[in-house]
Amino acid sequence: MPRLIAPVVVSAILFSAAGLSAQDSSPPKVPLGLPPLSVPKDNPQTPAKIALGKQLYFDKRLSRDNTVACASCHDPAKGWSNGERFATGVRGQVGGRSAPTIINAAYWPLQFWDGRAKHLEGQALGPIANSIEMDLTIKEAVERLNKIEGYKKQFQAVFGSDATGETLAKAIASFERTVLSGDAPYDRFKAGDKSALSEAAQRGMTVFFKKANCTACHGGGNFSDGAFHNAGIGMDAKEPDVGRFAVTKLLGDRGSFRTPTLREIGRTAPYMHDGSLKTLEDVVEHYVKGGIKNPQLDEEIFSLRLDAKQQADLVTFLKEGLSSKSYPMIKAPELPK
């Protein structure tokens, strides 16, 4: 059956032409201040794969009625979030949690506010199949893609096969892994450029790292410990979102959510898993009060003695210090037909 053999040979050639080999998993370069980024061994980054993932990320054809793409809720122009309290999917359906930014999501070993998915590859198919978000079975999504000549060709070139659920997830994850923010005024200041931060931001930095205890959870290059904590958000509701508890069933995890990154935080309002805090001033006020009392409130959350000036300086540090000039402002690419 020569018809079967020929495509295999062709794809083998394309496979090596695309530079896809076991040796190709050298870690990507990351902006100043970010920790080294590890890439799964079975999904090395290549330019062709990243380009494919970028198209898929912006393509509304991955939703039931062709109205919603990943970029609809994670929009580069809105801090890679959506600027709203909750996320709106197909048929105007609204979910119960706010859309986190994709920026630096490559660093999360556990994805989602409650950590229910592993790695970007493990996350990417979720929203497509979710009936509120994009509402397309993976089987249907893959069938759609393989009917589009431009996609079929790229999947063949990059993976040596038609689109499958696995390769779809791998391509999107590879693109997301390039959405990074570092090299902010804070990093430059730390690297020795004393003019990189205003005086107010410098004072705010001291408040952040010392008096306000923020780094108990928002430490390290990505300003997160990657762990789950109860900061009291939403815990005064009648039936609070139990967060991490739904995954682990451990009582201590009730109302816990993964510590978000604070990079580009000036662009991703509103804040928290339920988008309940509109501004960074509101966030700081929440912490100054000592969070919202509840039995599982994290012991690192307690009322803070910060005067009005210190609070304002802290906000200035967050906004000015962690917004990068090389913000990943990626435009939607042309989509294949």
Write the binding mask 19 to 38 for ligand HEC: x where contact by CB under 6 A, - elsewhere: --------------------
Q: What does the alpha-carbon distance between residue 210 and residue 325 come to, in Å, rounded to a whole number?
A: 26
**Six-digit token string for 211:** 């008096």
173-232 residues near ligand HEC, rule: CB under 6 A? 212-214, 216-218, 229, 231
Contacts of 288 (CB under 8 A, 6+ apart): 303, 304, 306, 311
Is residue 145 within the footprint of ligand HEC (CB under 6 A)?
no
Number of neighbouring beta carbons within 10 Å of residue 34: 20
Shorter beta-carbon distance to ligand HEC: residue 159 or 208: 208
Among 58, 107, 108, 245, binds ligand HEC (CB under 6 A): 108
Is residue 273 within the footprint of ligand HEC (CB under 6 A)?
yes
State in angstroms the smallest separation of the CB of 26 from ligand HEC. 23
Nearest Cα to Cα of residue 335 among 97, 125, 135, 59: 59
Among 167, 260, 296, 313, binds ligand HEC (CB under 6 A): 260
Q: What does the alpha-carbon distance between residue 65 and residue 72 come to, in Å, rounded to a whole number?
A: 14
* Widest distance between CA atoms in the chain: 79
Nearest Cα to Cα of residue 57 among 14, 107, 12, 105: 105
Is residue 102 within the footprint of ligand HEC (CB under 6 A)?
yes
Among 18, 124, 196, 322, binds ligand HEC (CB under 6 A): 124
Shorter beta-carbon distance to ligand HEC: residue 74 or 188: 74
Among 39, 70, 179, 196, binds ligand HEC (CB under 6 A): 70
Nearest Cα to Cα of residue 116 among 16, 240, 206, 243: 243
Shorter beta-carbon distance to ligand HEC: residue 112 or 245: 112
Among 123, 154, 167, 323, binds ligand HEC (CB under 6 A): 123
Using CB under 6 A, which of the segments 22-30, 122-130, 137-145, 320-328 binds ligand HEC?
Answer: 122-130
CA distances from residue 154 to 61, 124, 135, 145, 247 in whole angstroms, order as listed: 17, 19, 24, 10, 37
- CA 205-209-213 angle, to 5 degrees, is 130
Do 320 and 197 touch, CB atoms closer than 8 A?
Answer: yes
**Six-digit token string for 8:** 């295999």
278-337 residues near ligand HEC, rule: CB under 6 A? 280, 283-284, 287, 298, 300-301, 314
Contacts of 115 (CB under 8 A, 6+ apart): 228, 244, 247, 258
Is residue 72 within the footprint of ligand HEC (CB under 6 A)?
yes
State in angstroms the smallest separation of the CB of 217 from ligand HEC. 3
State in angstroms the smallest separation of the CB of 210 from ligand HEC. 11
Q: What does the alpha-carbon distance between residue 54 and residue 46 come to, in Å, rounded to a whole number?
A: 12
| Residue numbers at the binding site for ligand HEC (CB under 6 A) | 68, 70, 72-74, 87-89, 95, 97, 99-100, 102, 105, 108, 111-114, 120, 123-124, 127-128, 133-134, 172, 212-214, 216-218, 229, 231, 233, 257, 259-260, 262, 265, 268, 271-273, 280, 283-284, 287, 298, 300-301, 314
